[in-house]
Amino acid sequence: MAWWLMKSEPDVYGIGHLQAEGTTLWDGIRNYQARNFMRSMQVGDLAFFYHSNASPPGIVGLMEVIETGVVDPSQFDPTSKYHDPAATQEAPRWDCVRLAYRRTFPAMLSLDRLREHFSVDDLAVVRRGNRLSILPVSDSSAERIFRLMGLEPDG
């Protein structure tokens, strides 16, 4: 079981949306490094839900990978902002994973607080200017995140 951190803008799709829906397809990822991280995910992996472009930004909840290797349907949709004219049904370029809501944390763990406790080597999201929307999290960093919130680790 591996840990991840996945960013989304709360105005676009926040933890509340996921809580209401129960599950979601993490589609629209158009960055190869982020896509490759999703390709390495396995069912049962856990991911911290991170609110980006928020004030303040930070970790707000937890979700679980429930399906991997899903072809991202938005790449074929000409009306989608994620449409990729270079993608074909025979040779899709983008895939994604399906996630299930696990929990909303009692309080956000803000980026400021993360920076007080983690170096960029421990947790890449604290690196200034990090634009990558999906990041791996080490077991020890995941445990420290829960401890910082005063919670027992899931998983």
Partner DNA sequence: GCCAACGTTGGC
Binding residues (CB under 7 A) for DNA: these are 7, 9, 30-33, 52-57, 111-112, 125, 127-133
Q: CA–CA separation, 29 vs 133, rounded Å?
A: 8
Q: Which is nearer to DNA, 117 or 127 (CB)?
A: 127
- Closest CB 147 distance from DNA, rounded Å: 22
- Closest CB 100 distance from DNA, rounded Å: 22
- Closest CB 52 distance from DNA, rounded Å: 4
- Closest CB 8 distance from DNA, rounded Å: 8
Q: Which is nearer to DNA, 11 or 152 (CB)?
A: 11
Q: CA–CA separation, 95 vs 40, rounded Å?
A: 12
Q: Which is nearer to DNA, 39 or 43 (CB)?
A: 39
Q: Which is nearer to DNA, 9 or 77 (CB)?
A: 9
- Closest CB 131 distance from DNA, rounded Å: 4
Q: CA–CA separation, 48 vs 145, rounded Å?
A: 10
Q: Which is nearer to DNA, 22 or 81 (CB)?
A: 81
- Contact indicator for 137, 148 with CB cutoff of 8 Å: no
Q: Find the length of the chain.
A: 155
